Structure 1
Amino acid sequence: MSNFHVVVLGFLIGIVGTGTGGAMTFFLRKPSKRFLSTILGFAGGLMLSVVTFDLLPHAFETGGLNVGMLGLIAGVLIVVFFEDILPDKERINNYLKEGIIMGFAIAIHNFPEGLAVGSGFMASSSFGLSIALVIALHDIPEGIAMATPLSIGGVTPFKNVMYAILAGIPTGLGAIAGVYMGEISPFFIALNLGIAGGAMLYVTCGEMIPESRDLYRGRISVFGMIAGIISGIIITRVL
């Protein structure tokens, strides 16, 4: 596969993956608080699982524990700073803020994923394709995690898809870097993965899961979260 095709594939992975997750909001037509609580809990559990069992372990394996933890702490601090400069007026804005921060974290995360795709194809086409498939599947729940709070906050389905697509574009940019830079520094990849993991961990634990409980006080949000964690384990371990 030529370098041009690898770059195009990198963009398609990010756009289709996160865009598909964002497109789920087309099916949300005046949903009940019970349903939204379940979906938000599921998205939170899914992201918690992916971050814990896939993203951070990969960062530790790539650059070592110290580099991964440095990125994780930096990711948390970046989100805290980013959160403080966003307006915090009404509850609906909290959901919008949550979706924006999650989109920011996903965009950071997608760049090193693109690096992995580009570097994988430089090794062999079969290896590159396997990495591309896994990343595309991983991007779908990330799009869901970003789109759900935005949808609750009042963002239209069309805009939700557009925002999800924008968050996926860095995958293509990472693929360009992976192809043309040849050998990518493990330190750089691990640091970026750690930053993305820390950012997502903060938003998931501090915003998504608590607010899923606030939306509906029954057990359904907990069941949704557990289902999300199980789904994340399947995605990270089976694929």
Structure 2
Amino acid sequence: MDGKYIALGILIPFVGTSLGSACVYFLKGNKTTGGNAPVIPPDVEKGLTGFAAGVMVAASIWSLLIPAMEESSSLGRLAFLPAVIGFWIGSLFLFALDKLIPHLHLHAEKAEGPRSSFQRTTMMLLAVTIHNIPEGMAVGVVYAGMLTGDVGLSLGAALALSIGIAIQNFPEGAIISMPLHANGQNKHKAFVNGVLSGAVEPVAAVLMLLFAPVFSPLMPYFLSFAAGAMIYVVVEELIPETAEGEHSNWGVLLFAVGFTVMMALDVALG
């Protein structure tokens, strides 16, 4: 029974991305060729990005950092230490990916990372892939912690994380597939690429599960590692995107919505 729930939990976020990517078939935008013109109204896009950021921050706290420190309670006043170390390693890991992989953020004119001959759409997909790696790791490490019994994580808490990430993956899928269509890809190709951008999540989750028996004693470090990686994405990518262009409060308001939704899910199902 647990195996079925684990498989479901790993796939739920991927389904969220896939459904969001399908919006390219139903939502209309201002199609351009080779430009950066948004295909989603700016306020809507900022709101969706803020919502995703709120979910990721809440998940990092309730599903990852708090369990990591609770598991380290035997260290007394130093119970925070594994969480701090893991958090920093996770942040530096994403920083390294940011520098080593050529990628292009939404609306950015200049690519980040080393020079490459990749097409613009390819680098946009790589940016999303970097973003999705920590989310998949977070899901995998939470289910691994539940299986090993090393941390006080219930199946409900693990499913809450999967559902929360799936909810924030839905708008992300739309935010990816529609700009790809606006940059010249047909709807079918944009949809497929949007789906593939989320495929790294179940892969990362499965890898974490496979190594669960090996890193069982280090579970607090891995939980906080995933948290550090997710917070890096939020601060480096999502929050700046909510502040681009004309000032709007939608990103902040939807951040609060996403944060409280994820917090409520974790407490209610955990």
- What residue in structure 2 maps to residue 61 of structure 1? 70
Q: Higher mean Cα deviation, 133-142 or 71-80?
A: 133-142
CA distance in structure 1 between the partners assigned to 2:209 and 2:3 by the alignment: 6
Cα contact 2:14–2:201 (8 A) shared by 1: yes
Counterpart code for 1:91? A
CA distance in structure 2 between the partners assigned to 1:143 and 1:233 by the alignment: 17
Q: Higher mean Cα deviation, 210-219 or 86-95?
A: 86-95
CA distance in structure 1 between the partners assigned to 2:81 and 2:139 by the alignment: 22
- What residue in structure 2 maps to residue 27 of structure 1? 23
Give a deviation string over 1:110-162, Cα, whole Å, max 9, x none. 33123134336xxxxxx975455334324414534864664465282332223
Counterpart code for 1:56? L
Whether 1:143 and 2:169 are equivalent positions in the alignment is yes
Cα contact 1:19–1:168 (8 A) shared by 2: no
- What residue in structure 2 maps to residue 124 of structure 1? none
Q: Secondary structure, in 3 states, of the residue corresponding to 2:247?
A: coil
CA distance in structure 2 between the partners assigned to 1:60 and 1:149 by the alignment: 35
- What residue in structure 1 maps to residue 242 of structure 2? 212
What percentage of residue pairs aligned between the two structures are identical? Answer: 18
> Displacement, 1:177?
5.2
Counterpart code for 1:44? A
* TM-score using structure 2 length: 0.70
CA distance in structure 1 between the partners assigned to 2:65 and 2:125 by the alignment: 26
Give a deviation string over 1:40-64, Cα, whole Å, max 9, x none. 1111112112212332111212233
Report runs of 4+ in structure 1 exceeding 6 Å deviation: none
CA distance in structure 1 between the partners assigned to 2:94 and 2:208 by the alignment: 22
Cα contact 1:41–1:222 (8 A) shared by 2: yes
Q: Secondary structure, in 3 states, of the residue corresponding to 1:185?
A: helix
Structure 2, unpaired ranges of 5+: 30-39, 73-78, 113-123, 182-189
Aligned with 2:137 (options 108, 132, 135) = 108
Counterpart code for 1:161? V
CA distance in structure 2 between the partners assigned to 1:42 and 1:107 by the alignment: 18
Whether 1:185 and 2:216 are equivalent positions in the alignment is yes
> Displacement, 1:201?
0.6
Give a deviation string over 1:175-205, Cα, whole Å, max 9, x none. 4555xx4x9624x221111111111111102
Whether 1:91 and 2:108 are equivalent positions in the alignment is yes
- What residue in structure 1 maps to residue 230 of structure 2? 200
Structure 1, unpaired ranges of 5+: 121-126
Q: Secondary structure, in 3 states, of the residue corresponding to 1:214?
A: coil
* TM-score using structure 1 length: 0.78
> Displacement, 1:214?
0.5
Q: Higher mean Cα deviation, 146-155 or 216-225?
A: 146-155
Whether 1:12 and 2:8 are equivalent positions in the alignment is yes
Larger Rg: 2
Aligned with 2:49 (options 33, 40, 51) = 40
The structure in which a higher percent of residues are helix is 1
Cα contact 1:20–1:140 (8 A) shared by 2: yes
Alignment coverage as a number of residue pairs: 226
Cα contact 1:118–1:176 (8 A) shared by 2: no
Counterpart code for 1:55? L
